[in-house]
Amino acid sequence: MNVRDAGGGQRRTSIAGVGAFPNCPAYCASKGGLENLTKALAAELGRLNVNVNSLAPGNVATPLNAHLRGPGNEEYIRMMRTMTPTGRDFLSVDEMTGAAVFLACDDASAIHGATLMVDAGWSAWWTDLAARPLAPTMSDL
Protein backbone atom coordinates (compact mmCIF):
# COMPACT_ATOMS: atom_id res chain seq x y z
CA MET A 1 0.00 0.00 0.00
CA ASN A 2 1.43 3.38 -0.97
CA VAL A 3 -0.86 5.90 0.71
CA ARG A 4 -0.06 9.11 2.58
CA ASP A 5 -2.44 10.99 4.88
CA ALA A 6 -5.11 8.44 4.20
CA GLY A 7 -7.05 9.06 7.40
CA GLY A 8 -8.12 6.10 9.45
CA GLY A 9 -10.24 3.07 9.93
CA GLN A 10 -12.41 1.80 12.73
CA ARG A 11 -13.51 -1.64 13.80
CA ARG A 12 -16.57 -2.35 15.94
CA THR A 13 -15.52 -4.84 18.53
CA SER A 14 -17.21 -5.50 21.85
CA ILE A 15 -16.61 -5.75 25.55
CA ALA A 16 -16.46 -9.47 24.72
CA GLY A 17 -13.15 -8.76 22.96
CA VAL A 18 -11.45 -7.91 26.26
CA GLY A 19 -13.41 -10.21 28.57
CA ALA A 20 -15.22 -13.47 28.07
CA PHE A 21 -18.81 -14.52 28.64
CA PRO A 22 -20.21 -18.01 29.09
CA ASN A 23 -22.20 -19.61 26.28
CA CYS A 24 -20.66 -17.55 23.47
CA PRO A 25 -17.06 -18.63 22.83
CA ALA A 26 -17.21 -18.00 19.06
CA TYR A 27 -18.45 -14.44 19.58
CA CYS A 28 -15.75 -13.72 22.18
CA ALA A 29 -13.06 -15.22 19.96
CA SER A 30 -14.14 -13.21 16.93
CA LYS A 31 -14.22 -9.95 18.88
CA GLY A 32 -10.82 -10.72 20.42
CA GLY A 33 -9.53 -11.32 16.90
CA LEU A 34 -10.79 -7.91 15.81
CA GLU A 35 -8.99 -6.36 18.79
CA ASN A 36 -5.70 -7.83 17.60
CA LEU A 37 -6.43 -7.04 13.95
CA THR A 38 -6.85 -3.41 14.98
CA LYS A 39 -3.43 -3.42 16.64
CA ALA A 40 -1.75 -5.21 13.73
CA LEU A 41 -3.22 -2.82 11.15
CA ALA A 42 -2.22 0.18 13.28
CA ALA A 43 1.34 -1.16 13.48
CA GLU A 44 1.46 -1.73 9.74
CA LEU A 45 -0.29 1.42 8.54
CA GLY A 46 0.85 3.96 11.14
CA ARG A 47 3.89 4.97 9.11
CA LEU A 48 1.50 5.89 6.31
CA ASN A 49 -0.41 8.26 8.63
CA VAL A 50 -3.36 5.90 8.81
CA ASN A 51 -4.77 5.51 12.28
CA VAL A 52 -6.71 2.32 12.94
CA ASN A 53 -8.71 1.99 16.14
CA SER A 54 -11.70 0.12 17.44
CA LEU A 55 -14.83 1.03 19.31
CA ALA A 56 -16.01 -1.54 21.85
CA PRO A 57 -19.62 -1.01 22.88
CA GLY A 58 -21.11 -2.50 25.98
CA ASN A 59 -24.62 -3.92 25.99
CA VAL A 60 -26.42 -1.78 23.39
CA ALA A 61 -30.18 -1.86 22.91
CA THR A 62 -30.86 -3.07 19.36
CA PRO A 63 -33.70 -4.93 17.66
CA LEU A 64 -31.60 -8.10 17.98
CA ASN A 65 -31.79 -8.05 21.79
CA ALA A 66 -35.25 -6.49 22.20
CA HIS A 67 -36.55 -9.78 23.62
CA LEU A 68 -34.09 -9.42 26.53
CA ARG A 69 -35.42 -6.00 27.46
CA GLY A 70 -39.08 -6.92 27.55
CA PRO A 71 -41.43 -8.11 30.27
CA GLY A 72 -40.37 -11.34 31.92
CA ASN A 73 -36.67 -10.55 31.77
CA GLU A 74 -36.41 -8.50 34.94
CA GLU A 75 -33.76 -10.87 36.32
CA TYR A 76 -31.55 -10.42 33.26
CA ILE A 77 -31.94 -6.64 33.41
CA ARG A 78 -31.08 -6.68 37.12
CA MET A 79 -28.01 -8.79 36.39
CA MET A 80 -26.87 -6.37 33.69
CA ARG A 81 -27.25 -3.43 36.08
CA THR A 82 -25.05 -5.13 38.67
CA MET A 83 -22.28 -5.62 36.11
CA THR A 84 -21.51 -1.92 35.60
CA PRO A 85 -20.45 0.60 38.23
CA THR A 86 -22.95 3.06 36.75
CA GLY A 87 -25.88 0.68 37.18
CA ARG A 88 -26.75 0.88 33.49
CA ASP A 89 -28.28 -2.06 31.69
CA PHE A 90 -28.57 -1.19 27.99
CA LEU A 91 -26.88 1.71 26.20
CA SER A 92 -28.42 3.44 23.22
CA VAL A 93 -27.03 3.28 19.70
CA ASP A 94 -26.85 7.09 19.80
CA GLU A 95 -24.35 6.89 22.67
CA MET A 96 -21.87 5.25 20.29
CA THR A 97 -22.03 8.09 17.76
CA GLY A 98 -19.88 10.64 19.60
CA ALA A 99 -17.16 8.09 20.24
CA ALA A 100 -17.12 6.98 16.60
CA VAL A 101 -16.98 10.58 15.36
CA PHE A 102 -14.13 11.36 17.76
CA LEU A 103 -12.05 8.42 16.52
CA ALA A 104 -12.60 9.58 12.94
CA CYS A 105 -11.65 13.23 13.50
CA ASP A 106 -8.30 15.03 13.47
CA ASP A 107 -8.36 15.27 17.28
CA ALA A 108 -7.70 11.53 17.34
CA SER A 109 -4.77 11.64 14.89
CA ALA A 110 -2.30 10.47 17.57
CA ILE A 111 -4.45 7.52 18.62
CA HIS A 112 -3.27 4.31 16.94
CA GLY A 113 -4.20 0.72 17.73
CA ALA A 114 -6.48 1.68 20.61
CA THR A 115 -9.85 0.42 21.68
CA LEU A 116 -12.28 2.99 23.01
CA MET A 117 -14.57 1.28 25.49
CA VAL A 118 -18.10 2.75 25.48
CA ASP A 119 -19.59 0.47 28.08
CA ALA A 120 -20.92 2.43 31.09
CA GLY A 121 -17.82 1.43 33.03
CA TRP A 122 -18.11 -2.33 32.56
CA SER A 123 -14.48 -2.70 31.46
CA ALA A 124 -13.25 -0.72 34.46
CA TRP A 125 -15.03 -3.18 36.70
CA TRP A 126 -15.06 -6.50 34.85
CA THR A 127 -11.90 -7.85 36.47
CA ASP A 128 -13.72 -7.74 39.79
CA LEU A 129 -16.46 -10.02 38.48
CA ALA A 130 -14.40 -13.11 39.28
CA ALA A 131 -14.62 -12.24 42.96
CA ARG A 132 -18.40 -11.87 42.84
CA PRO A 133 -20.99 -14.61 42.99
CA LEU A 134 -21.48 -16.16 39.57
CA ALA A 135 -24.05 -14.20 37.62
CA PRO A 136 -26.75 -16.20 35.85
CA THR A 137 -26.02 -17.10 32.24
CA MET A 138 -28.48 -16.80 29.40
CA SER A 139 -29.33 -20.49 29.78
CA ASP A 140 -30.29 -19.85 33.41
CA LEU A 141 -32.89 -17.24 32.45
- By residue range, what is the domain housing residue 102? 7-122
Residues 9, 19, 21, 27: which is the catalytic one?
A: 27
Residue 141 lies in a domain: no
Q: Is pLDDT above 80 for 4?
A: no
Question: What is the per-residue pLDDT across 34-81, written as a single tens digit (0 to 9) for each?
Answer: 999 999 999 999 999 888 999 999 889 999 889 988 899 999 899 888
> What is the pLDDT, as a whole number, of residue 28?
85
Residue 132 lies in a domain: no
Residue 27 known to be catalytic: yes
Rounded CA separation 49/3 (Å): 8
Residue 131 lies in a domain: no
Residue 70 lies in a domain: yes
Domains held by the chain: number: 1
Residue 137 lies in a domain: no
Report the CATH number that the domain containing residue 101 is assigned in CATH: 3.40.50.720
